[in-house]
Amino acid sequence: MKLLMWVLTSFISVSAFSHAVANEIPSGKQLRLQAEEVTKIIDTDSLKKLIDEAPDLVLVDIRTESEIKRHGGYIDVPQNVHIPRGWLEFDIQQKVVEKNSPIVLYCGGGLRTPLAAKTLQDMGYKNVWNYSEGYFGWKKSQ
């Protein structure tokens, strides 16, 4: 009986501790919402205008290669570059040297780009936008 009580007490203590720790870890959704609070958003019409007017714009597709193939392509403009989200921090400096260069990030539907935009801002880039409509929004507007 003492053993059973000890096991139950230990389980309850560990379970309560695990729950408390888990509640302190922000979810992906919470992190995205926090990033959206400090990130500029650009819509399709504004992006089209920026593409036409800003030759130094860097339009960064952060999707994986398989996503690009699966969904039928990318935003086909000269300013488009592909840097998968997992490599952004490592590869962006080869594509964008100037910290004030305009950078617009896009993925499929805008879930990852706020996080990526915040990361670039944390790295010191000053002119970063999240194209929240993503490739699907672009494709729909064509």
pLDDT tens sequence across 31-61: 999 999 999 999 999 999 999 999 899 999 9
Rounded to 5 degrees, φ, ψ at 53 are -105, -15
pLDDT tens sequence across 55-96: 899 999 999 999 999 998 999 999 999 999 999 999 999 999
Q: What is the pLDDT of residue 21?
A: 57
The Cα angle at residue 26 between residues 22 and 29, in degrees rounded to 5: 125
Q: What is the pLDDT of residue 8?
A: 46
User: Against a cut of 0.75, is the pTM above it?
Assistant: yes
Q: What is the pLDDT of residue 87?
A: 98
Residue ranges and CATH numbers for the domains of the chain are: 38-141 (3.40.250.10)
